[in-house]
């Protein structure tokens, strides 16, 4: 699915004279008044929202510097576009339903940029409007034509059950952080209820790039329908403004590896085996959803106060049974299977290998795999899986 490009030369001059990708802050406030405004929802989510011919919504899109766009004369410094997304019954290979959710394979999404010139908004340059509301109301009653393609707005689609407003979210103390993101404790309100949540968001105060938005939403979309005791639950996302929030189940016990290191030998053998069993059940569920986690480790599991392991952090995860990455990507060498190290290939079986390394972490109180070896040495040793666990523990574990 690609965004509809500006009218061909003749309708719009070749030089950048029309507003196409900028929006002032006050206009953002106006957009929020529409019940069918979905903020920075990326196009990959649209087939899960626009399910019938004529369904439509408004959204915002960041415009990367590499994209060829016509700049806004009214505000050339801005890098955002208002997009009118409409579903149409035009069969296309790129609209095939995925294994997650129930998009209609007979629909194609048209993404039409609403442009602005001299404070007028338009889709067809011959039909300018004073406000976005006027534009939408016109096309609710009249068909539009763009690049010889007809469109009409039939049904406005409001926010989904998994979409929240930033105004409903209260952000609290920092729980953890990485190079690019952080997780904070917080609450979210919906229908007279207040839920405690963990809020995953990007670091910094600047606007997120289109690529970063796509990455965050891909993770949220992947686990949106996951429901299992040993998987961290996703409540939803808040995308009406930036930074985007991913709203997750708050697991107050913290990360599994920190728990193991903190409690050390005080953790009984039976509790360790229970950890392994819970993690195994979580992995089994993930694989039944045709998903490869790709980053199983104690650091990516949480441990609840009632002693339940919950697999989290699906940032690297992919749908399917096999996935090959580019060699340039940074990977957690000490948890990788031999075929991943040699060919950068992940599969359900490589997840099982990583699970085995996590078992080592559990029974050694969070000790780093191949402690004392460099990553280069680990690459050579991993094929033999030299790491050893206390013999009695192995016997107990195999009897579980």
pLDDT of 143 higher than 70: yes
Distance (Å, whole) CA 190 – CA 165: 10
The set of residues, in sequence order, having a beta carbon less than 8 Å from that of 310 and lying 6+ positions away, is 229, 230, 231, 232, 249, 251, 278, 282, 301, 302, 303, 304
Burial (0-12, 13-18, 19+ Cβ within 10 Å), 125: middle
Round the CA-based radius of gyration of the chain to a whole number and report it: 25
- Range 163-249 classified under CATH 3.40.50.2300: no
Q: Give pLDDT, residue 78.
A: 54
Least trusted range by pLDDT, from 14-23, 152-161, 249-258: 14-23
Mean pLDDT value of segment 220-225:
95
Dihedral sign from CA coordinates of 277, 279, 285, 291: negative
Strand intervals (E) in the chain:
3-4, 55-62, 80-88, 108-117, 120-122, 144-146, 149-151, 155-156, 163-164, 169-177, 181-190, 193-202, 234-238, 245-249, 291-292, 301-303, 309-311, 318-319, 322-324, 345-347
Domain coordinates in residue numbering, the chain: 3-156, 163-249, 256-398
Q: In the structure encoding, which two tokens stand for residue 113, read together? A: 């940029």
The pLDDT, as a whole number, for residue 362 is 96
**Judging by beta carbons within 10 Å of its beta carbon (0-12, 13-18, 19+), is residue 15 exposed, middle or buried?**
exposed
Query: Rounded mean pLDDT of 307-313?
Result: 97
Known catalytic residue at 130: no
- Outline where the chain has alpha helix (H): 25-31, 132-141, 210-223, 256-263, 269-288, 338-343, 348-363, 375-381, 391-398
Partners of 184 in the β-ladder: 174, 199
214 token code pair = 């796509």
Average pLDDT, integer, range 245-256: 96
Tens-digit pLDDT profile for residues 229-248: 999 999 999 999 999 999 99
Position 40 scores a pLDDT of 95
Task: Say how far apart CA 132 and CA 138 lie, in whole Å.
Answer: 10
What's residue 107's pLDDT?
80
d(CA 188, CA 166): 9
Range scoring the smallest mean pLDDT among 109-123, 175-189, 222-236, 383-397: 383-397
Average pLDDT of the chain is 84
Number of Cβ within 10 Å of residue 200's Cβ equals 25
Torsions phi, psi for 199 (to 5 deg): -110, 115
- Please give the average per-residue pLDDT across 266-292, as a whole number: 97
From 45, 55, 240, 295, active-site residue: 295
Whether 283 contacts 355, CB under 8 Å: yes
d(CA 45, CA 160): 11
Q: Please tell me the total number of residues recorded for the chain in this structure.
A: 400
pLDDT of residue 278: 98
Tokens of 59: 């959204």
Three-state DSSP at 345 gives strand
Q: Are strands 144-146 and 120-122 parallel, antiparallel or unpaired?
A: unpaired
Any binding-site annotation on 210? no
For residue 250, whether the previous peptide bond is cis, meaning omega lies within 30 degrees of 0, is no
Angle at 18 between CA 13 and CA 22, to 5 degrees: 150
Q: Which residue has the tokens 């990485």?
A: 178
pLDDT single digits (tens) 55-77? 999 999 887 655 544 544 455 55
Q: Does domain 256-398 have CATH number 1.10.510.10?
A: yes
* C-beta of residue 360 within 8 angstroms of C-beta of residue 397: no
Beta strand 80-88 with 108-117 is antiparallel
Q: What percent of the chain has pLDDT over 70?
A: 80
Confidence of residue 389 (pLDDT cuts 50, 70, 90): low
Is the predicted pLDDT of residue 277 greater than 70, yes or no? yes
CA distance linking residue 140 with residue 152, whole number of Å: 6
3-156: which CATH topology? SHC Adaptor Protein (3.30.505)
Closest CA to 60 of 245, 239, 211: 239
């Amino acid at each position: 699915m690609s965004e509809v490009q500006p009218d061909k030369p003749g309708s719009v001059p070749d030089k950048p004279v029309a507003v196409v990708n900028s929006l002032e802050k006050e206009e953002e406030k106006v957009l929020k008044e529409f019940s069918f405004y979905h903020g920075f929802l990326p196009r990959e989510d649209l087939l899960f929202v626009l399910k019938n011919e004529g369904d439509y919504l408004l959204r915002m899109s960041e415009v990367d510097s590499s994209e060829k766009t016509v700049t806004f004369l009214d505000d050339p410094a801005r890098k955002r576009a208002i997009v009118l997304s409409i579903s149409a019954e035009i069969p296309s290979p790129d609209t095939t339903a995925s294994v997650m959710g129930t998009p209609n394979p007979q629909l194609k999404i048209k993404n039409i940029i609403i442009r602005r010139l001299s404070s007028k908004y338009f889709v067809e340059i011959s039909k300018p409007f004073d406000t976005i509301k006027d534009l939408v109301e016109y096309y609710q009653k009249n068909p539009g034509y763009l690049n010889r393609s007809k469109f009409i707005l039939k049904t406005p689609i409001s926010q989904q059950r998994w979409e929240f407003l930033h105004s409903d979210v209260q952000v609290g103390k920092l729980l953890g952080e990485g190079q690019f993101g952080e997780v904070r404790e917080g609450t979210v309100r919906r229908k007279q209820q207040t839920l405690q949540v963990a809020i995953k968001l990007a670091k910094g105060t600047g606007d997120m790039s289109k690529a970063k938005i796509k990455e965050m939403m891909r993770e949220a979309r992947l686990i949106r329908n996951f429901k299992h005791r040993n998987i961290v639950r996703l409540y939803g996302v808040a995308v009406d403004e930036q930074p985007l929030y991913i709203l997750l189940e708050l697991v107050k016990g913290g990360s599994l590896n920190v728990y193991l290191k903190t409690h050390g030998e005080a953790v009984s053998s039976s509790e360790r085996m229970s950890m392994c069993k819970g993690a195994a059940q979580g992995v089994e569920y993930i694989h039944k959803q045709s998903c490869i986690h790709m980053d199983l480790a104690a650091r990516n599991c949480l441990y609840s106060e009632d002693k339940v392991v919950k697999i989290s952090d699906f940032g690297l995860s992919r749908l399917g049974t096999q996935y090959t990455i580019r060699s340039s990507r940074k990977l957690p060498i000490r948890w990788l299977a031999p075929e991943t190290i040699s060919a950068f290939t992940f599969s359900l079986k490589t997840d099982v290998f990583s699970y085995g390394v996590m078992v080592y972490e559990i029974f050694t109180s969070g000790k780093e795999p191949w402690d004392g070896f460099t990553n280069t040495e680990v690459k050579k040793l991993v094929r033999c899986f030299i790491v050893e666990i206390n013999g009695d523990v192995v016997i107990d574990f195999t009897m579980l």
